[in-house]
Structures are given as C-alpha cells and as structure tokens.
Structure 1
Amino acid sequence: MDPVILFFLFGLVAGLLRSELKLPSALYDSLSIFLLLAIGLKGGQGLATQPLLPLLPQIGAVIVLGVLQTLIAFSALRLLFGFDRPNAASTAAHYGSVSVATFAVAAAWLAARDIAMEPQMAVLLAVMEIPAILVGIVLARGIHRDTDWKSLGHEAFLGKGVTLLLGGMAIGWAAGPEGLAPISGLYFDLFKAVLALFLLEMGLIVSRQVGELRRRGLSLIVFGLAMPLLSATLGLGTGWLLGLSVGGLTMLATLAASASYIAVPAAMRIAVPEANPAVSLAGSLGVTFPFNILLGIPLYHWMATRLSGA
C-alpha cells in the first residue's frame, strides 16, 4: 500500500486505541498551509504554460456541478434520512464542496503511477470550494434582510484555504517553471512526506468521530458512502463533457466525491449556528474521507478508464 495511506491507518488505529499520540496544533496548521501552497504552486506552474481563456467553460461547469451536488445531498438528507433543515443544509454544503486533503492524496496516487492530469485541476479545486457554501446558506436560512452577507462572503471567498490556493497559483503562474526551480525541492519533492505526516493527524481526527457515528446510527454511514459514489459519477460525466484526460477524469471524480472539513465548517458556524457541526464532520471525516482515500480513488480511476475507453 501507499505509505501515505499507511500513515493514515496508523493514526486511525492509534486514536481508536486511545493512544496518547497527538501532533501539536501549530504543526497541523503548518502542514495544512504547506500543502495548500504546494498544490497552488504546482497548478500555477502548469497554468503558466497554457492560455487561460479556455478555462472559463470548465470553471462554469464545476460551479454547476457543486450547486447540483448540494441540492441533491440536501434533498436526500431531508426526504430519505429525516434530517432537520439546518443540519441537512450544513451537511449538504460539506458534500457539495471539496476536500484539499483528498485532492492531495489523489495527486500523489496519480503521480506514483505516472498518470498525468490537466494542470488547471488546482484552479477547479479552489473554485469548487465556494458554490456549496452559498447554496447551503440559502437552503438553511433563506434570503433575509438580516443575513450578514459581508461576513459570509468574506469567509467563502477569502477563507484561509481559498486564499492560500489562489495565492500559490498566482505565484506559480507569475514565476513559471524556471522561477520556481530554486524552491521546487521544498514544495514539490517533499510534498508526499509532508502529506504522510498530515494524514497521520487526519487518522487521529477521524477516530474521534466514532461516537457521533454511533449516535446517528446507520443513516449517516449509508449517506456517507452513497453520496460520494453518486457525486463521482456526476464528476465523471462533467469531465467527459469537458474532454478531460483519464487523469483529469479521475481527479474531477475524486473532487466531486470528496467532502469539505475546513472551509465549509468555518462558514457554517457563522451562517447556521443552530446546526450541529459534529454531524457533518462525522459524515465527511468519519465515513467519506476514509472511503475515498482507501477505496474511492482507485475505483474512480477504474471508472475513468472505462468511460474514456483507455
């Protein structure tokens, strides 16, 4: 197995056994910043070698994809699983958005197998963070005069994750491959080692969601497994219409199947304080994230190869 996956399993088992293992919170934040910047730099470096105008249809397509996923998730949670409106809207926003960590694992998985993907996938990652947040807020609260759109817009468009991704892409695009060469040893060569350490902490975090999964029962587990499969299918269809390569199809399916646990929880705390964040995180972190990195990514690649006829 890939060592980064083994690091995740190590953290998960250690957490379930109630080990005293714990990474300092400052180190976890530093690893997050490093991964976001590295992904942005890599995407910006690729963008420097191609025109930007052809990306506009792809950006529009993934915005529609994120909105559609959020609406489907909300309807399923309300009608099939009996969630109240605030928790259904908050959880749906998590599943309509994307996970940077899942993107990083998929990028490492593809790179280890010499499977190329389009460089603009980092751009699509940043774009897909935002629509689900806005749709989730409208589903939970409607549109009222007292809605603090300024604070919500700031959180959605200028949150840490989006800012680091866009900033890294801007630097990578402006510097280009030659300009980034002196720092490539840190941001590119050490990427997988840093990702392994990050996934060790993610395993510990996932182990803490077991209690909420027990309280919510089978419904959250079923949704946490079924929704990524449906979303991956929608992502594959979108990627096929956009003419993406097998690597691009795999990555877009992975992004669609992933669920946010950084940007969306922060925005939902402001917009929908009555929603229980433990419910959304138990699904996105306790079920969907492990499923995607252990089984989902190879499955989505297999589906992409069948769709493309490769």
Structure 2
Amino acid sequence: MLDLALANLLSPIVLSFALGLGAALSRSDLTVPEAVAKAMSLYLLFAIGFKGGVSVADHGVDGTLGLALLGGVFLSAVLPLIAFALLRVMSGMSATEAAAVAAHYGSISIVTFVAGTAILDARGLPSEGFMVAVAAAMEAPAILTALWLVARAGKGAADKSQAQSQSRGELLHEVLLNGSIVLLIGAFAIGWITGPAGLAQIDSFIVAPFQGVLCLFLLDMGLVAGRGMRAGRGVLGLGALAFGIVMPLIGAASGLAMGAALGLSVGGVALFMVLGASASYIAVPAAMRVALPQVNPAIYLTLSLAVTFPFNLTLGLPIYVTLAQYVTGG
C-alpha cells in the first residue's frame, strides 16, 4: 500500500492537482478559462462513459449489472443517514445544515471516479464497465434522503411550503437532467450500441489524450479547491473537518462490503469503494441551492471539495485499491 500511495502521490494527475492547489493558496494569478475547464469536463465524461458502454457491450448484460445498480442506489440512500448522525455528533451544525452536507456524501464525485479508473488502468487491474451506470444511479437517492431528513427534523411550515411550491420542479430537473449525468449516460449508451467497433473508430480521441486532459482538469480542480479553502476558512470547526476525512473511510468500507458481496472483480470492488467514499461537488450543490437555499454553500463545498476530494485523490485511492486487492485476493 505504501508503494502504491507513493506512486499515486508522484503521479502526473496528483502532482497537477497539487500545483493548482499550491498556486491558489499562494494567491497566484494562474487560472484556467471557464470555457476550457468546461470543455475538459465534457471530454472526460464522454470518454469514461463511452469506454464503459463498450466494456458492457463486449462483456454482455447479466444479473450482476442489475444487482450492482440496486446496491449503488441502496448505498446512496443510506450513507447520508450515517453522515447526518456523525455531523450532529461531531459538529455544531443544525439539522438542516447537516442534512445538506450529508447529501453530498451519499452522492458521488465523478472526477474521483475517473481518477480511480485511471489508477486501475495504470496498474492493469480489470473493472466492470457497468460501474459507470452505477455511478450515474448514485446521484439522486442521496438528495431525496437529505430532503427527508430535513422534513423529519421539523422545518417550519413556511419553509416547507416554499420548498414544495418553488423548488420541487427545479429540484427534479437538477437531479434527473443534470448535464454531467445526461452526458455520462448518453456516452455510455453510445458506447454500448457501437461496441468495440465504435471505439476503434475514435480510439485516438478517446484513449490517447485521456491522461493529459485529466492532468489539466485536475490542475483546475486544485485551483478551485485552494480557493475554497481560503473562502471557507473559519466557517467549519475541527469536528466538521474531521468528518470530511472519517466519512469517506466509512463510505469506502460500505462500498467494499457491497462490491465483495456481489463478487465483483478487483477493479469493480475498488470502484465501488471510490463511489462510496467520494462526495459530490457538482450535482448536489446545485440541487441544495434550490432545495435548501438557507444553508451557506461554503459549508458543504469546503467539506466536499477542499477536504474530502484532496484526501481521496492523494491517500484514499491507494488505500481503496490495496484493500480491494486484499479482500478479493487479486
């Protein structure tokens, strides 16, 4: 595990993230144009979705796919309950704030997922292509659980009425038609339909540039995380910051149990751990701005993007891969 952790820390993708993080913390004027960052995000989502669809087309559909989807939905719905309970104990957050943060830790970070697949590819470890579909299925349930937690905690009637009348349609739109999910599922479907023959036609676009684009994208993510650390300074206490490290480990353990129970490959178990450990900072923040506008976004963005994401990228991923190999015997 130490060898893998060192190799990961010295990999181009992690060092690119560190460069962006250091530049932001030192207040450098280094920036990545928003249009470029958006283009890189679109490319990565399309590439990972397409390759996942090709893998399913090559492997075929079986019962394991359906069980994996159900397992992912279950984890996404249950993990926010654990996160909510931990936050209420470890921090001074209100029930509404804790529920908003908890939603992020049941949903997933697609960038962490992409980084995890890159590590597995570099080590030659196989994984099931349908894990892309599992990632997409894990976006929405956590949000619904968080809203249930808020209702159960007894929000005021006025807040309830406002959320129901103004936010329901917008929230469903954010969750079900979120651009990253639409692109991921769409690319997955295209890869599934066209199969290996389709991949052969665009191999030079999908495969060769992937690692380089990922490095530049993580440079930008480092810049964003560094700015988040600066902006969120003083917003969170030590208990909340500790939660940002503890909760990913709990989520990873849950993913390990689920992947092992399903009999997935080493890579499949590792990716289930990555999905359980990651925290959303794209889809869920957008949904929370609509559903719970009274919660300060700096709280959940600082935790998910400036604490949990760097931990997963630098130390978490090697731990998850090593544990997956140990449990599966791979």
**Normalized against structure 2, the TM-score is what?**
0.90
Q: In structure 2, which of residues 191, 215, 236 is the aligned counterpart of residue 216 of structure 1?
A: 236
Take 1:305 and 1:69, find their aligned partners in 2: how far apart are those partners? Answer: 24
Residue 147 of structure 1 and its aligned partner are, at CA, apart by: 6.4
Residue 213 of structure 1 and its aligned partner are, at CA, apart by: 4.1
Q: Which residue of 1 aligns with 2:253?
A: 233
- Tell whether the 8 Å contact from 2:228 to 2:306 is kept in structure 1 after alignment: yes
Residue 185 of structure 1 and its aligned partner are, at CA, apart by: 1.0
Take 1:117 and 1:53, find their aligned partners in 2: how far apart are those partners? Answer: 15
Q: Which residue of 1 aligns with 2:101?
A: 91
Alignment RMSD (CA, Å): 1.5
Residue 50 of structure 1 and its aligned partner are, at CA, apart by: 3.3
- Tell whether the 8 Å contact from 1:140 to 1:272 is kept in structure 2 after alignment: no
- Tell whether the 8 Å contact from 2:90 to 2:240 is kept in structure 1 after alignment: no
Deviations 1:13-65 (A, max 9, x none): 11111100001111111111111111110111111123335211111111111
- Tell whether the 8 Å contact from 2:104 to 2:279 is kept in structure 1 after alignment: yes
Take 2:116 and 2:222, find their aligned partners in 1: how far apart are those partners? Answer: 17
1:57 aligned onto 2:76:
no
1:14 aligned onto 2:33:
no
Q: Which residue of 2 aligns with 1:169?
A: 188
Aligned letter for 1:199? L
Deviations 1:148-178 (A, max 9, x none): 4332222111101110111001111111110
Q: In structure 2, which of residues 31, 47, 59 is the aligned counterpart of residue 38 of structure 1?
A: 47
- Tell whether the 8 Å contact from 1:213 to 1:221 is kept in structure 2 after alignment: no
- Tell whether the 8 Å contact from 1:213 to 1:220 is kept in structure 2 after alignment: no
Take 2:204 and 2:288, find their aligned partners in 1: how far apart are those partners? Answer: 37
- Tell whether the 8 Å contact from 2:49 to 2:191 is kept in structure 1 after alignment: yes
Q: Which residue of 2 aligns with 1:255?
A: 275
Aligned letter for 1:79? V
Deviations 1:216-266 (A, max 9, x none): 131222000000001100000000111011111111101110000000011
Q: Tell me the matched-pair count.
A: 310
Aligned partner of residue 20 in structure 1, secondary structure: coil
Residue 118 of structure 1 and its aligned partner are, at CA, apart by: 0.9
Take 2:189 and 2:251, find their aligned partners in 1: how far apart are those partners? Answer: 29
Deviations 1:266-308 (A, max 9, x none): 1111111111111101111111101101010111111112212
- Tell whether the 8 Å contact from 1:8 to 1:203 is kept in structure 2 after alignment: yes
Residue 180 of structure 1 and its aligned partner are, at CA, apart by: 2.4
Kindly report which structure 2 residues correspond to 1:264-303, keeping only aligned pairs within 5 A, or say none: 264-303=284-323
**Normalized against structure 1, the TM-score is what?**
0.96
Take 2:284 and 2:267, find their aligned partners in 1: how far apart are those partners? Answer: 27
- Tell whether the 8 Å contact from 2:167 to 2:290 is kept in structure 1 after alignment: no
1:73 aligned onto 2:83:
yes
Residue 309 of structure 1 and its aligned partner are, at CA, apart by: 2.9
Residue 198 of structure 1 and its aligned partner are, at CA, apart by: 0.3
Q: In structure 2, which of residues 173, 179, 185 is the aligned counterpart of residue 154 of structure 1?
A: 173
- Tell whether the 8 Å contact from 2:99 to 2:146 is kept in structure 1 after alignment: yes
Q: Which residue of 1 aligns with 2:129?
A: 119
Aligned letter for 1:83? M
Q: Cα 1:273–1:267, aligned 2, differ >3 Å: closer, same or farther?
A: same
Take 1:136 and 1:32, find their aligned partners in 2: how far apart are those partners? Answer: 27
**Which runs of 5 or more residues in structure 2 are unaligned?**
1-9, 153-159
- Tell whether the 8 Å contact from 2:235 to 2:299 is kept in structure 1 after alignment: no
Identity of aligned residues (%): 44
Take 1:39 and 1:210, find their aligned partners in 2: how far apart are those partners? Answer: 29
Deviations 1:198-219 (A, max 9, x none): 0000000111122314431312
Residue 189 of structure 1 and its aligned partner are, at CA, apart by: 1.5
Q: Cα 1:50–1:115, aligned 2, differ >3 Å: closer, same or farther?
A: closer
- Tell whether the 8 Å contact from 2:251 to 2:273 is kept in structure 1 after alignment: yes
Q: In structure 2, which of residues 31, 35, 38 is the aligned counterpart of residue 29 of structure 1?
A: 38
1:204 aligned onto 2:231:
no
Residue 141 of structure 1 and its aligned partner are, at CA, apart by: 4.1
